[in-house]
Amino acid sequence: MVPNELYRLLRCPSCYSRNLVVNEAAVSCGGCGVDYPRHAGYLDLMPRGVAYDYTSKYVAEEAQLAEELDYREIAPPLLAAGVRNRALVRLLALGAGDVVLDNGCGNGRFAVWNRERVALMVGNDPATMFADEALAQIALTQADSRRLPFADGAFDKSFSIDVLEHFPREVIDAYLAETARVLRPGGRFLAFSNTSEPSSLQPLTNLSRRIGRLFVRAGIYDFEREARRKSDHIKALRTFEDVLAAMRQAGLRPVRIVFWNSVFTSFVEHVVMKLGEAWLARRRAPAATGPVGAGTSRELQARQAVRGRLQQRGGLRLALELITRMMELDLWLFGRLRSGSYFIVVEK
């Protein structure tokens, strides 16, 4: 949605003017004359007249990915997404007075899940694969993170979940510099991402992976969709030292760090859930062959079947809540052991 509170946060992403005029169909810049159209549920605030070398896969292949990513509906925050969300709420201490930016929001699920905890939740992404609930319930902008359409100090808090690993280094630097600019002094930013550093608990994780691979060989499950989802991970910040250096360079001071060594998580994801998905999908009609492969269709079908049942609080929902808490044990037990995946909170 495009609430009135959003307008007072804006500045022109093309010429940086704050002299913006709001019309029925667009926001017009009094500085450079550009009209930024208002679409159903979001504002197009992409900078005009700026060319960048790098474009994210999500922008470049939006149409093809749209089908695979199954983005229009939002499931409850469970499993790996549930662990991320619980950590986000706790570590960033989202509060009732906060104006918050989810920068790189994807379909907007984290913003939707937390919109009622804060005063204003803004989701931003250059790709517009927004979920229906996001379009209806949170303030949405289509903008480039290297030139955010927001005034200096507009936000109390900002977060990015699974974003930084997609960017080359110069884009990360620009992203963090813009994050620092739009935060008020003392404002906080949480990033969840990963480096290339192996966890010291990797052998335990590998055991789950090996069991998972047995399923693949037996034809119970394939990991094609997961592989594609991770296909554009660059991990330009290779080590956690690189992460700290990039934050400091942007003027952001680390205040809280929790690593995610996925011991319980890996067992749940590679063994428990894959068996569950395969079982659910096989009870349904055989996978139709379309532009996505059979493994992907099977997983999507399983997800859609499950999602309906998750909206009601039943046995399945409760079981998944418990499994989510089990995965979260990884943060409580091993959160200080350095590994590839991390939550970091930094302060301006």
Contact positions vs Zn ion (CB under 5 A): 12, 14-15, 17, 29, 31-32
Given the complex with Zn ion, which of 181 and 238 has the nearer CB atom? 181
Burial of 114 (0-12, 13-18, 19+ CB in 10 A): buried
Residue in this structure with the two tokens 């474009």, named with its chain if needed: 55
Do the Cβ atoms of 128 and 42 come closer than 8 Å?
yes
Least separation in angstroms between CB 241 and Zn ion: 39
Least separation in angstroms between CB 32 and Zn ion: 3
CA distance 133 to 73: 7
Given the complex with Zn ion, which of 115 and 146 has the nearer CB atom? 146
Helix boundaries (H) for the chain = 4-7, 57-60, 62-69, 79-92, 109-114, 132-137, 169-182, 202-217, 224-229, 240-249, 264-267, 273-282, 294-311, 315-334
Least separation in angstroms between CB 12 and Zn ion: 3
Least separation in angstroms between CB 190 and Zn ion: 30
DSSP string, 22-82: E-SSEEEETTT--EEEEETTEEE-PPSS---S---HHHHTHHHHHHHHT-SS---S-HHHH
CA distance 192 to 63: 26
Given the complex with Zn ion, which of 45 and 281 has the nearer CB atom? 45
Least separation in angstroms between CB 331 and Zn ion: 43
Given the complex with Zn ion, which of 32 and 337 has the nearer CB atom? 32
Q: What are phi and psi of 28, to 5 degrees?
A: -105, 135
Single-letter amino acid code for the residue at 279: W
Q: Put the strands of the sheet holding 183-194 in their side by side order.
A: 20-22, 26-29, 35-39, 42-44, 139-142, 120-124, 99-103, 155-161, 183-194, 341-347, 253-259
CA distance 129 to 108: 9
Least separation in angstroms between CB 197 and Zn ion: 42
Given the complex with Zn ion, which of 13 and 126 has the nearer CB atom? 13
Least separation in angstroms between CB 173 and Zn ion: 24
Given the complex with Zn ion, which of 148 and 237 has the nearer CB atom? 148
Least separation in angstroms between CB 18 and Zn ion: 9
CA distance 90 to 331: 12
Q: What are phi and psi of 169, to 5 degrees?
A: -55, -45
Given the complex with Zn ion, which of 154 and 287 has the nearer CB atom? 154
Given the complex with Zn ion, which of 18 and 284 has the nearer CB atom? 18
